[in-house]
Amino acid sequence: MNPVAQVILDGIFTGSTYALIAAGLALILGVVKVVNLSHGAFFSLGAYVAYVLSTKGVTHPAAAALFACVIAFAFGVFLGKSFINPLRSHPFSVAVGSLGFAILFEQAAQILWGPHPVSIGAGPPWAVVSGVVVRRWGAVSLLASVVVLLGLALLLSSRWGLPIKLVAEEEEVAGSVGMDVEKIRYLTFGFASAAAAVAGALLAPAVSIAPTMGRVPLILSLIVVVASGMENVGAIFLLAVGLGLLSNLSAYLVSPQWSYVSLLSVICLLLVLRPMGLSATPLGRDY
Amino acid sequence: MTDLLRAEGIEKSFGTVRVLRGIDLSVGKGEVVGLFGPNGAGKTVLANVLSGLIFPDRGTIFFEGKEITRIPMDARFRAGLTRTFQIPGPYPTLTVVESVRVALLCGDSGRRGKSRSSRELEEEVESVLHRTGLFPQRFWLASKLSQGCLRRLEFARSISCRPKLILLDEVFSALSEKDEAELAALLRSLHGNDGVSFLLISHNPLLLEGMCNRVVAIEDGRVAWEGKSADLAAYLPVAGAHNHGQ
Amino acid sequence: MDGFQRKATGALALGAGLLLLLPLAGVDLFLLDVLTTGFLLACYVGSWDIVGGVAGQISLGHALFFGTSTYACALLTSLAGWPFAAAAASAILLSTVAAAVVGTVSARLKGPFIALLTLALGELVHEVMLGQTFFSPREGYSWGGEGGVPVTLPWKALSPWAAYYLGLLFLFLAALGMTRIARSKEGLIWTAIAGSELTARASGVDIARHKRRAFLAAGALAGAAGVGFAAYVGRATSADFSLELSFQAATFSAIGGRGTIVGPVLTALALHAVLQGAGFPPAARVLLYALALLLTLRFFPEGVAGTLRSRLRARRMVSEGADR
């Protein structure tokens, strides 16, 4: 048994799922051009979906991921269409509103499933490599994340990704060639939210599921997006994995609380020390 | 003539797009200088650099002999270098009188360093409002003003700092004849009575000919021509010379 | 004062009058307690409105200033043995310093990033305080976390009626002070910054400096509310730093009408009194607040008092300001 190596491997698996969340957030920032604070709640939603399914005897990650994806997509499209799209140009409403949605979910989860953490079994080991256990959730998470992010990168560089890129970079052009810009926006919001929920469903066996579990992934993916921008899918993946790894390691070596605190410190430092770097995002421009 | 404003070698790029490629420009005391150019030539970017909204990649700017290249816009306002915006952005919740009051609170007092009583402040506000013809609408919400009145509000804001130089960015475009005439009269009065210098940005050569002493024409981010406004007609490029479309 | 401002002050006076007479109509001790905490909450929310409403800064970590104050009161009186008055003064000073820090680092950021930064700062301190314990040698055990730190008060017990009326007086004076600040020259500059930073800059407003001042005022007032809370409840807990509390400041202000001071203050008091008075558990209450927030932002973005203010101003445009 090699506990440190185990933590590292699990950190990589965890980080790769965080990359899914971060990629979704990056898409929202780039296409809908808002900072979405409800993103962590969709992650929690996915985890709770997996939990509810497991209480009914369904434990296969694909099932959990599928249910989470569909539910979150529906919610995401609803939220995007009814709230985010109309209020895009009001930063206060978006920030506080998306936070409101996150808190709404946290309170609802607390009422429905109680404030204490619950968990799904981590599942039997799939393989054991020199004292390190590889479980199903880890392998599936890594695979899913790589597939989705590769797919995203391919999509964006192909013809099919053109509508998304146009809405992100040249809004007026997109509108003038007849694209339904609003629809692209809320569909993107829906897909990104679904990705976060899938991440939650896949990661559910490995974490303790509690109402406020979405806060850490939110901060983490915000760090990734603020630090690496929206264009570079590869950078997003690497940074998310790196942060997931660090987060796991610090939780193991110090305490789980300190990993949250260190993530929060990182984002504060990022925001304070590089305001010029933030002008690269669509929100930083003055005129 | 001593230069009030002098810009040397101004370069500015956005990503890979080089908008300003080395511009030299000067405005002397009491001069009305026109800045002419087609759309996309970089006039507004230059105005943004000169007024301090953005900083140039290369080059220096001097105002009254002091270097101001990296001084922010609000400090330039207090120093007497101010500008109007092509698309005015009125405060959504303030009235006309309140909008002017903000500028007066921050403009002149910052420079002179002495505080005024509320009475003196109000008198100055009213004087500015009378001068720009906005006194009847002073309790209106600024956002409800007509285009012509918004331009006048821009003027009101600009003169609140007892400016020495005002950058006017397309202040006459898309105005009715009456509004244009009134604004022109206001400009002349400021120039004649208060000795304010102007840098007038416009794509309308007739307007520049009528109002300016000297015109600088820029094209593709460079100064293409400079001379007396009377000679402007001789310079005008063949293609699109009288194209007044936005 | 314009029409809306007169009505606002009138509403405050009317509210104060009603609340003055309420206990004489016979209310039970529970409701009295709910209202007293409501007064302090309302002051806290009003302090948010200074920086978040009048100055328009999206501050999502306001509980940081409140918690700093309550903890300072608790730690200074119970651990360091200071008299309450000195601890209270230091508490307000400390929360103002915290606000100065936040104001300075936020100064150059754009809206959504200020939201992020303040949220992260608030959560950071909350998380630290959640796990932080303080060992009291006198008592022989540790305080901290959700159990909190007790405040050593100079009185043995405060009668509920005395607490109620003191709280009401405190809120009334604080609200008057806040409206005074909002209507001052500095408040006008804050409103300009909230309306259009670009136009404000072009009018000579040093944005960073005035943003900082708004945070300072808000922090000091939140600190005052914290002192009141520490004195009344007698305990500082990590919940005083929580995201839910920061969220409530923004939520009640949005529903009441950002920038009106009176709207947020009265809304916070009313919603808190009704929902806690009706016996809703905390999770249900916060859920309802969040729901109300979302509906308000979507359909009545100016909030209750804000919509009223806009209507009155539009009407005044027509009459061309005869009352000035």
In this predicted model, what pLDDT tens digit does every residue of B70-94 receive, in sequence order?
999 999 999 999 999 988 989 998 9
- The C-alpha atoms of residue B118 and residue C145 are separated, in whole angstroms, by 50
Could you tell me whether strands B165-169 and B197-202 are parallel, antiparallel, or unpaired per DSSP bridges? parallel
| Confidence (pLDDT) at C301 | 92
Interface list for B 191-210 with C (CB within 8 A) = none
Q: How much is the average pLDDT of B106-125?
A: 72
Mean pLDDT taken over chain A: 87
Number of neighbours of residue A112 by Cβ within 10 angstroms: 11
3-state secondary structure of B156: helix
Least confident window among A187-201, B97-111, C206-220: B97-111
Closest listed residue to residue C92, CA positions, set C245, C217, C264, C249: C217
pLDDT at A186 > cutoff 60:
yes
pLDDT at B109 > cutoff 70:
no
Number of neighbours of residue C184 by Cβ within 10 angstroms: 11
| Confidence (pLDDT) at C97 | 98
In this structure, what token pair is assigned to residue C32? 């009295």
Of A93, A226, A261, the CB nearest to C297: A93
Sort out which chain C residues have CB atoms less than 8 A from A257's CB and list them.
127, 130-131
B48 CB within 8 Å of a chain A CB: yes
- The C-alpha atoms of residue A276 and residue A279 are separated, in whole angstroms, by 5
C208 CB within 8 Å of a chain A CB: no
- The C-alpha atoms of residue A223 and residue A260 are separated, in whole angstroms, by 12
pLDDT at C72 > cutoff 50:
yes
What pLDDT band is residue A276 in, cutting at 50, 70 and 90?
low
Non-local (6+) Cβ contacts of C9 within 8 A are C1, C176, C179, C262
CA distances, A110 to each of A104, A212, A213, A217, C97 (Å) = 10, 9, 11, 18, 35
What pLDDT band is residue A284 in, cutting at 50, 70 and 90?
very low
C-alpha distance from C173 to closest chain A C-alpha (Å)? 29
Closest listed residue to residue B166, CA positions, set B77, B244, B97: B77
Least confident window among A180-184, B113-117, B140-144, C90-94: B113-117
Q: What is the tens place of the pLDDT at every residue in C129-138?
A: 998 888 776 6
Q: What is the tens place of the pLDDT at every residue in C272-320?
A: 999 998 989 999 999 999 999 999 999 999 999 999 998 888 887 776 5
Q: Pick the more confident residue, B204 or B58.
A: B58
Non-local (6+) Cβ contacts of B197 within 8 A are B4, B5, B27, B28, B29, B30, B31, B32, B33, B164, B165, B166, B191
Sort out which chain C residues have CB atoms less than 8 A from B106's CB and list them.
189, 203-206
Percent of chain C past pLDDT 90, that is, above it, reads: 75
CA distances, B233 to each of B200, B224, B243, C137 (Å) = 17, 14, 13, 90
C101 CB within 8 Å of a chain A CB: no
CB within 8 Å: C206 and B161: no
CB C232 within 8 A of CB C40: yes
Of B85, B106, B140, the CB nearest to C189: B106
C38 CB within 8 Å of a chain A CB: no
ipTM of the prediction: 0.92
- The C-alpha atoms of residue C150 and residue C166 are separated, in whole angstroms, by 21
pLDDT at A2 > cutoff 80:
no
Q: How much is the average pLDDT of B1-28?
A: 89
Percent of chain A past pLDDT 70, that is, above it, reads: 95
Q: How much is the average pLDDT of B181-191?
A: 89
3-state secondary structure of B167: strand
pLDDT at A176 > cutoff 50:
yes
What pLDDT band is residue C53 in, cutting at 50, 70 and 90?
very high
| Confidence (pLDDT) at C305 | 93
| Confidence (pLDDT) at C81 | 87
- The C-alpha atoms of residue C305 and residue C4 are separated, in whole angstroms, by 9
Q: What count of Cα atoms within 13 Å lies in the side-chain half-sphere of residue C205? A: 33
- The C-alpha atoms of residue C66 and residue C72 are separated, in whole angstroms, by 10
Sort out which chain B residues have CB atoms less than 8 A from C191's CB and list them.
91, 93-94, 98
CB B44 within 8 A of CB B169: yes
Q: What is the per-residue DSSP string for A126-165?
A: EEEETTEEEEHHHHHHHHHHHHHHHHHHHHHHSGGGHHHH
- The C-alpha atoms of residue A207 and residue A13 are separated, in whole angstroms, by 12
Cross-strand bridge partners of residue B170: none
What pLDDT band is residue C259 in, cutting at 50, 70 and 90?
very high
Phi–psi pair at B63, nearest 5 degrees: -130, 120
C295 CB within 8 Å of a chain A CB: no
pLDDT at C108 > cutoff 60:
yes
pLDDT at B177 > cutoff 80:
yes
What pLDDT band is residue A181 in, cutting at 50, 70 and 90?
confident
Mean pLDDT taken over chain C: 91
Subunits close to B (at least 3 CB pairs below 8 A): A, C
C-alpha distance from A210 to closest chain C C-alpha (Å)? 14
- The C-alpha atoms of residue A144 and residue A162 are separated, in whole angstroms, by 24
Q: What is the tens place of the pLDDT at every residue in C116-169?
A: 999 999 999 999 999 888 877 666 777 877 888 888 888 888 899 999 999 999
pLDDT at C322 > cutoff 50:
no
Which residues of chain A are at the B interface, by a Cβ-Cβ cutoff of 8 Å? 286-287
Of B88, B95, B107, the CB nearest to C203: B107
Which residues of chain C are at the B interface, by a Cβ-Cβ cutoff of 8 Å? 185, 188-189, 191-192, 194-196, 198-207, 259, 313-314, 316-317, 320-321, 324
Q: What count of Cα atoms within 13 Å lies in the side-chain half-sphere of residue B3? A: 14
CB within 8 Å: C243 and A111: no
Name the burial class of residue A103, with classes exposed (0-12), middle (13-18) and buried (19+) by CB atoms within 10 angstroms of its CB.
buried
Which helix (H) or strand (E) segment holds residue A13: the answer is helix A3-27
**pTM to 2 decimals?**
0.91
3-state secondary structure of B61: strand
Q: Residue C121: closest CA among chain A residues belongs to which residue?
A: A268
Sort out which chain A residues have CB atoms less than 8 A from B54's CB and list them.
286-287
CB C238 within 8 A of CB C129: yes
CB within 8 Å: C301 and A99: no
CB A139 within 8 A of CB A16: no
- The C-alpha atoms of residue B209 and residue C252 are separated, in whole angstroms, by 57
Q: How much is the average pLDDT of B101-125?
A: 76
B10 CB within 8 Å of a chain C CB: no
| Confidence (pLDDT) at A275 | 60
| Confidence (pLDDT) at A138 | 87
CB within 8 Å: A99 and C123: no
CB within 8 Å: B161 and C316: no
- The C-alpha atoms of residue A248 and residue A243 are separated, in whole angstroms, by 8
CB A150 within 8 A of CB A136: no
Q: How much is the average pLDDT of B216-222?
A: 89
Closest listed residue to residue B159, CA positions, set C202, C208, C207: C202
Subunits close to A (at least 3 CB pairs below 8 A): B, C
Q: Pick the more confident residue, C70 or A134.
A: C70
Q: What is the tens place of the pLDDT at every residue in A59-103?
A: 888 899 999 999 999 999 999 999 999 999 899 999 999 999 999
